A and B are shown apart, each in its own frame.
Chain A
């Protein structure tokens, strides 16, 4: 399956109980459905969902529509609870899922 270009910006470490900010960008044209006179019809092809999990438990989710800008940017927060992997998934129309992960060290 083709991959996606994505960037995750977050701290690599945090103190227990600290609220960290996570910012993600993914390269995607977020194509709206085309169905207008004179234009070639094409189906919608967007990232429709984004999920973040921390040590296996989902901590954040977003449902996106075609009203989200190309190359979707999402920012959210989470409380640093334990050293663990934070994983990110982008779900595309048509069933493709793209993922990234980063480790947060909690002191």
Chain B
């Protein structure tokens, strides 16, 4: 068990570059980068605060332990977010949100929080924050290989009324502007993120649903196999880049 995760926002132990893929933070203005680095001003830390309280609280009604009852201090979660999404023992690809929901159902005998609920976002943000600054390192071999291939296929698939693939914006036009936005590599290392557009914290799948809407494609449900495969592909693409969660995004 790893303990004693440094939560210092200035502690970026990983370089901003991995290959030619730039860290998501490098697409932010200096002002938003400073905000992302300052827990005294970063509103996403309100969700971290709430998530840490949930970590310590036993689920009502089930009579089972709190997360802390098995895992100890939340500091033990250091590095975990950098390894997700990951394939579970039963073969299911789980991201951090679904891993928490499964733990809640199987170990705590409690009802699911629900994808995109404030409770699940808070707990996910609190756990992910413990990996801040650590390099993304997901497994893509073994049972994950097929899901990675699914993700790669979706990434290059033209979709929607605009007939655009993820790749056309986020590889072929990186750095160019779409109105006031600069097109990034579209990586998920800052999620769950506090997005100014949302006035709150949201998941990567919420962001992907906004992308689907943007190209006038059918939005997949939260936690759908397609978005999970895409999340794994994006995490593989972000390999070696620092976890930024909870990030600040426009």
Which residues of A are interface residues toward B (Cβ below 8 A)? 5-7, 9, 23, 25-27, 29, 69-71, 73, 75
Contact = CB atoms under 8 A, between A and B. Distances in A.
A4 to B, nearest CB: 9
Contacts of A71: 43, 46, 199-200
Nearest to B43: A71
A73 B46 CA distance: 11
Given A70-B200, A71-B199, A5 B40 contact: no
A23 B41 contact: yes
A60 to B, nearest CB: 17
B49 interface: yes
Contact of A9 (B39, B43, B50): B39
B40 A23 contact: yes
Contacts of A25: 40-41, 43, 45-46
Q: How many of chain B's residues touch chain A, expressed as a range? A: 10 to 19
Nearest to B200: A70
Interface in B3-46: 39-41, 43, 45-46
Contacts of B50: 5, 27
Interface of B: 39-41, 43, 45-47, 49-50, 199-200
A82 B66 CA distance: 40
A83 to B, nearest CB: 23
A26 B170 CA distance: 35
- Interface SS, A side: strand
Contacts of A73: 41, 43
A5 B46 contact: yes
A7 B199 contact: no
A75 B40 CA distance: 10
A66 to B, nearest CB: 13
18 contacts: A5-B46, A5-B50, A6-B46, A7-B39, A7-B40, A7-B49, A9-B39, A23-B40, A23-B41, A25-B40, A25-B45, A27-B46, A29-B200, A69-B199, A70-B43, A71-B43, A71-B200, A75-B41
A1 to B, nearest CB: 17
B246 to A, nearest CB: 13
A70 B49 CA distance: 17
B40 A29 contact: no
A56 B43 CA distance: 28
Nearest to B42: A25
A5 B122 CA distance: 11
A7 B50 CA distance: 10
Contacts of A5: 46, 49-50
A9 B40 contact: yes
Going nearest first, the 6 A-B pairs with the smallest beta carbon separation are: A9-B40, A70-B199, A71-B43, A27-B46, A23-B40, A5-B46
B134 to A, nearest CB: 23
Contacts of A70: 43, 199-200
Contacts of A6: 46
